[in-house]
Structure 1
Amino acid sequence: MPGGKGAASAAAQTAPTEPVKGASRCLVIGPEKSASGKVLMLEATADGPEIHLHGGGFDNAGFGSTGWGIPTMGRGAQHGWLLVSGSSEAGTTFAEKLNPKNRYEYWYKGAWKKMDHRTETFRVKDGAPVTHEVAWTIHGPVIAWDVENGTAYSQQMGVHGRELDTWVAFAEMGRAKSLAEFREKGVDRLGWNLGACYGGEDGTIAYFEGGALPKKAAGVDPRLPTPGTGEYEWTGFLTRDEKPHMIDPKQHYFLSWNSKATGWSQEGDNARIGATFRTWLGDRLAKKGEALTLLDMRDINGKLFNALGAVDRNQAAPDFFAPYIRAAIDVSADPEVRRAGEYMLGFNGLYQDRDGDQRYDDPGLTLYRTWLEVAPRMLFGDDMGDWWSTIDTDRYLTYQSSLLLRAFQGDAAGAPLAVDYFNGRDRTAVMIDTIKSAVAEVRARFPGKDMAEWKQPIFWKYFDASLETPDRPQMAEDAPEHRLSAVMRLGPTMAPHNGGESWVGLMEIGADRRALYSVVDAGGQNLFIGPDGKGNPHLADQTMMHETNELKKIDLSPERIGKNAKSSLTLEYRPSAR
């Protein structure tokens, strides 16, 4: 029976079991910044199979999100296309006013309206059946109940009822013969909020925000549930021209990483995007890049991996805080503060172990990473306890370092904070105190060692989490993994953590360069293990390639595919006569 003790219980009903994972980034370089004069495209995203379709109007290869059955991004007949999850406001949580006499009725436009509801029973092998109640209002499924306070929370999503449209959009984006077809038959058909990145053999690059994005009633606060009594309904959806889009931008490149497409677009519930958002490094590298090659793009991918933006989304380069750290160095009489500050400013933001000693190369990394935890605790803790961090607990996109930067920027921040968390103290004095505390915290982890030796152990990616040891730590953001190939010792059980996403795709878009370079750490679709306990030959053959940022070539020429094939199987379907 749905119920609970107030809003806290309702919130608990909707809390995810672990943070959302697997979002994507795309970097598209226009011909003006490319050595070959061709468009360059780079993607990194979640794990999933690779698919090559040829025939029936299809001639594309790429990544297929699990369950879709077709490439959702990759290399098409005359273009490349990549996708990222959108961060726009694509849904609304409505607070439904319940009938005190019947919790399955809610007040809507002056009358009690009945919910659709049923109880599903799931049979469990060797266990008791499990029942789950499903209820639906005019807005969408009920996701939480607060019967005690006469409220149910339902969720209206633009994608509801448009799921198959999204599948059609994926198919049409892959087989489009022009940019116009890509947009009209593909992007405009999307129900799911996605960003579509395009690069054509003719040198055109483009970005389109897709999905059914609602126009909300005036005056509602999207951060809070909207009253579901009928006065605050959606008034329609954004048209194609009202959604963010651009063709051949003047900077000759663009980067999207589940980020806001524009400064004016409304952020979704899970988006908290500030100055230190993880696009900082990719934007810097693309902006200064000239005559870029495929190898340059692979190098950019390695750096983006090593900045940890895919895993620890609170990381940001120390130079964001450089003016305030430098001021502390200049006025402090404490030699440890000055030395630690210099080390922090010398850290380039990349988690690298180039000498292979299983420790990160730079003591500034250790100090700065610790400072990013110590400084907000000291600055915000007396006013809000640990809320500065717990508010991000279940969010994929975190905001802590951006909030810290806004505090130090003061009135110069893009959106100055309304509260003086320094409590009247000089900002430089507070910076000195935070550096002192960070030094004290790190020193305790390296007893008897000089600051130059404060190099923390590298993080490891465990494919069998039961093997984790304190000297080979896993990142806190990584959910424990028990990959069957690792558990059965058919593949690597662990690897140094490169910080990257699972699938990487790289393309140069030319008529004479019809290939996709890619790697996927879990073997893509080749995850089969037979009853005899033997795995597919490709079960884990890309795992260590992925860790070292190596890519394989997927040729799209039918002649070369046939020439290089190890084996082939033809399936012929002949429907029976009616």
Structure 2
Amino acid sequence: MPNKMTRTALSTAILAALPLFADAGEITIKRDTWGVPHVYAETTHDLFYGYGYAVAQDRLYQMEIAKRSTQGRMAEVLGTDYVEYDKKIRRNYDPTSIQRQIDALSTDDRAILDGYAAGMNAWIEQVLSKQDSLLAKQFHDNDFVPEAWTAFDVAMIFVGSMGNRFGDYNTEIENQQLLDALIKEHGETDGWAIFNQLNPLNDPSAPTTVPKGDWSGTFDKRHVELAQRPSISDKTEADIARLAIGQDGGVLNLALAEAQHYNAQQFRDFGLTGVAGYPQTSNMIVVGKDKAKGANSILLNGPQFGWYNPAYTYSIGLHGAGFDLVGNTPFAYPGILFGNNADIAWGSTWGAGDVVDIYRETLNPENPNEYLFEGRYRPMEVRTETIQVKGADPVELKVYKTVHGLLISRDDAQNLAYAKKRAWQGREIETLMAWTRQGQASNHADWLKQAARSAFNINFYYADQQGNIGYAFTGKYPERKPGHDNRLPASGEGDQEWLGIKPFERNPQVYNPSSGYIANWNNKPADDFIAPDMFWYSWSEADRVDTMRAIMDSKDRFTAEDVKQMMEDVSYADVNAGYFIPYLDQATRGLNTEDERRKAVQLLLDWAMTSHDKDRDGFYDEAATALFQAWLPEMLALTFKDDIPGNFFNWYASAGYPSPESPLRSSVNIQPGTKALLQALRGKDAGVEQSYDFLNGRSANELLLSSLDNALKKVKQKHGDDPANWKLPVVPMRFFTNNFLGMPQAGKDEEKQTHIAMNRGTENNLVVFNGQQVQTHEVVAPGQSGFIAPDGTPSPHYDDQLKLYEDFDYKQTWLAPEQVDANTQSVTRLNTGH
């Protein structure tokens, strides 16, 4: 049995943490046939009390781990193995800043967080009084019990999983390392040229979410002067690796660190290279009145967070206190990221805008805790954290901060340190409230006001009953000084400070675009938008959104079923093939039709560029799948290996395809090397100037034929000479039991999988407006509930959406009271009086 907190002790903790409310409120929770709770209450506090109560019933262990994961408090329940993890997390956020923002909330906004926490605690109190039946099996297995929640805990779930993940990607130090290695290998001119072709500031040929010509604003037309930057090229690779993670174990970005660890496993165990496995996030299609058929507007969202058990998102209906909505949201945030009310629908995808800069701090040789800023050495701020450790003594940690932000790494031997400056710092809670209040909007103007408040780099989408659709690229973006190359660390001495934050009006946005639809797969938002600063992500002419746009442009009108089918079709599409098969065709046209290379290319030409297992024999049906997945890595190696030095080549060598041994952890995207390859083949017609010749004087056809020879040799060695036998084993879609930060949120035996991986959303939600009513459907696999009883019996809604998901089917969700009542399976009534 776990160590028990008494019910009296918990009650005392709850009452100490929460404000008192004089009037008792009545709350009704109606659960539908899929276990989705619909909460009814009159006040904001009570509505979110019911929300928290329902979440605790369904996902208490997952939420406890999410809370501890995002605050760096894992070691106190799971022991010494998690101390280093806790250190990394605590270096990555400022708890005082978060609490200050919470304390500044209006009474009604604060009631959202307080009510949610109170509802969680009400269920926890019941659980602790009946641990033998109500305490989830995972608590028993790991010998601890849940603790009382506060408003801070509720907020940190959002901050730690949204801000510190999707708003925090940054590889400026790695970019600097790459640039220095290129200059050392090729000299200043060619080194810079290669760097700019691999990681371009702007590719005008990249497809945009806002149709070209529909947005008259200008986000950023800067042209950074490519002056020489301070070099670290004299360091060894070991020095560089140490600098990147910090002598003290700090990390640049925790999500990135997780991905790097994952890729290291790929390299060692499966022979894969590059950045396959990095988070590649989400897609969206919104169809307006000029393009929709049988509807006024259609919205289909596919947020790609990865696949987990319990499910990453949580479904909920909120009814009362100015809310009347249904939808789902990651980790049961108070704000519903993917949902609708009777008037509008909304959704989101990650936007790769650059909201974070790394500043290189010059340390005082006489005192490494002082840094040079504006002509004088200043002391760093320091706070001391105490990490409680189960079964061991507490561990103390010092967290340092400069005027730019939290210190992420330091090298006292070189008198250098690196600090992270975030444009969204201090705006995290406002962003959460904007997302929460978005659900109360009834028209585009109201919705846009909330979008303008969001500080994170997120794409927001809109559709309404009248058939209007809209898009806004949200976030607070810095106005950088001329000459500040956002791809590289900036000087911390005061000469490269931001000039301010750009007004929301300069963020790309559109209302009723000329195309009649909005398609996004994390592609470039609009023209004149600088690229992100991540070596593993760039906007280029090659973009997987083209698979969506090709279908949407193929006919004039789309029904809801057409849109749903489009999303299914792109889930099985090869995102790379369409760009390169024409080049292979051109290279082999002069060959005899009996030449094995020409026959192989004909196989590719006859391919629909999709990969299925319709006969469910465990192998992909299409021989071309095996051939193309063998060819692309060969072509990448022949093109780049002689130009990109050392292990940096691995960043650009991966084709990004998963395998049964290394399954899909997030969506499949076109990898950075593949994007650079297309530009190299385009030559003078490329969107990015190709001043350095990656082909090294060889003809494109020469490399294409050579790589095709190599691919054919490997395919035949593995599968034989007969193309009928060129079948790759199917990659399953696994629902992992760690959460997005790698922390265990379920038992090891709870991993689930579908037969075949699909390049689609973690969840999908489809909203259809016809001018009078709204119809909504969703699938949130494996299921609504993660609860497993102490005796091992799972909730009936534990994995009941897994088959739906595998079959690309959806369940209906309910909004109107009569619909909810007609599909209610259980009713719970609560009273919030103390």
**Common fold by TM > 0.5:** yes
Residue 551 of structure 1 corresponds to which residue in structure 2? 810
Contact in 1 for aligned 2:786/2:798 (Cα 8 Å): yes
2:749 to 487, 509, 514: 487
In the alignment, the residues of structure 2 paired with residue 67 and residue 479 of structure 1 have an alpha-carbon distance, to the nearest angstrom, of 17
| 4+ residue segments displaced more than 6 Å | 392-397, 478-483
2:471 matched to 1:207? Answer: yes
1:292 counterpart = 2:554: no
Question: Equivalences for 1:52-63 in 2 at 5 Å?
Answer: 52-63=317-328
TM-superposed deviation, 1:17: 3.1
Q: 1:347 aligns with which of 607, 620, 623?
A: 607
Please say if 1:140 is aligned against 2:405. Answer: yes
Quickly say closer, same or farther: Cα 1:22–1:319, change in 2 above 3 A: closer
CA contact 1:463–1:481 (8 Å) conserved in 2: no
CA-based RMSD:
2.7
Amino acid aligned to 2:566 = I
Check whether the contact 1:485–1:539 (CA below 8 A) recurs between aligned residues: no
Query: Match of 1:383?
Result: 643
**In 1, are the aligned partners of 2:737 and 2:746 still within 8 Å (CA)?**
no
**Distance in 2, Cα, partners of 1:574 & 1:511:** 41
For CA contacts below 8 A with separation 6 or more, give which structure has more relative contact order: 2
Aligned with residue 236 of structure 1, among 493, 496, 500: 500
Aligned length: 551
- 1:19-30 matches, within 5 Å, as 19=259, 20-21=278-279, 23-30=281-288
For residues 119-134 of structure 1, the aligned pairs below 5 Å read 119-134=384-399
Residues 117-126 or 141-150, more deviating: 117-126
Shift in alpha-carbon separation, 1:323–1:479, aligned structure 2, 3 A: farther
Measure how far apart 1:505 and its partner are.
Answer: 0.6
| Aligned positions of 1:305-454 closer than 5 A | 305-307=571-573, 315-316=575-576, 318-333=577-592, 335-385=595-645, 387-390=648-651, 398-447=671-720, 449-454=721-726
The alpha carbon displacement at 1:165 in A equals 0.5
Given candidates 432, 441, 447, the residue that maps to 1:176 is 441
For residue 457 of structure 2, what is the aligned residue in structure 1?
193
Deviates more, 1:219-228 or 1:278-287: 278-287
Task: Quote the offset at 1:221 in angstroms.
Answer: 0.9
- 2:799 matches 1:540: yes
Q: Which amino acid aligns with 2:404?
A: H
State which drifts further: 326-335 or 81-90. Answer: 326-335
Q: Which residue matches 1:41?
A: 299
Instruction: Give the whole-Å Cα distance in 2 for the aligned partners of 1:465 and 1:153.
Output: 34
| Contact kept? 1:332, 1:432, Cα under 8 Å | no
User: How far 1:295 moved relative to its partner?
Assistant: 1.4
SS in 1 for 2:564: helix
C-alpha separation between the residues in 1 aligned to 2:741 and 2:544?
A: 20
1:276 paired residue among 528, 542, 545:
542
Alignment of 1:38-187 (within 5 A): 38-45=296-303, 46=305, 47-184=312-449, 186-187=450-451
Deviation at 1:504, TM superposition (A): 0.6
Report if the CA contact (8 A) 1:166-1:190 is conserved. yes
Q: Which residue of 2 aligns with 1:471?
A: none
The separation in 1 between residues aligned to 2:242 and 2:736, in whole angstroms, is 34
The CA deviation at 1:458 is 0.9
Cα deviation code 1:318-361 (max 9, x no counterpart):
23123321122212357110011111222323221122222112
* Structure 2 unaligned blocks of 5 or more: 1-86, 89-234, 260-277, 306-311, 657-665
**The residue matched to 2:642 in structure 1 has which SS?**
helix
Q: Normalized per residue, which structure has more strand?
A: 1
Q: Is the 8 A contact 1:121 1:129 kept in 2?
A: yes
The separation in 2 between residues aligned to 1:67 and 1:113, in whole angstroms, is 42
Alignment of 1:244-255 (within 5 A): 244-255=508-519
Residues 391/115 of structure 1: CA separation in 2 closer, same or farther (3 Å cut): farther
Letter in 1 for 2:825: K
Cα distance in 2 for residues equivalent to 1:391 and 1:240: 35
1:99 partner amino acid: N
In the alignment, the residues of structure 2 paired with residue 181 and residue 202 of structure 1 have an alpha-carbon distance, to the nearest angstrom, of 15
Q: Specify whether residues 234 and 464 from structure 1 end up closer, same or farther in structure 2 by C-alpha distance, changes over 3 A only.
A: closer
Which residue matches 1:461?
A: 733
- 1:465 to 1:434, Cα distance in 2 relative to 1, 3 A: farther
Deviates more, 1:494-503 or 1:201-210: 494-503
SS of the aligned residue for 2:506 comes to coil
1:32 aligns with 2:294: no
Q: Within 2, Cα distance between the matches of 1:67 and 1:219?
A: 42
Query: For the residues of structure 1 that align with 2:520 and 2:567, how far apart are their CA atoms?
Result: 14
Q: Share of identical aligned residues, percent? A: 25
Which is richer in helix? 2
After superposition, the Cα gap between the structure-2 partners of 1:533 and 1:445, relative to the gap in structure 1 and judged at 3 Å, is same
Give the distance between the partners of 2:724 and 2:527, measured in 1 at CA.
Answer: 42
3-state secondary structure, aligned to 2:523: coil
Q: TM-score of the superposition, structure 1-length normalised?
A: 0.89
- CA shift for structure 1 position 176: 0.4
Structure 1 unpaired stretches of 5+: 309-314, 467-477
Contact 2:737 2:747 in 1 (8 A): no
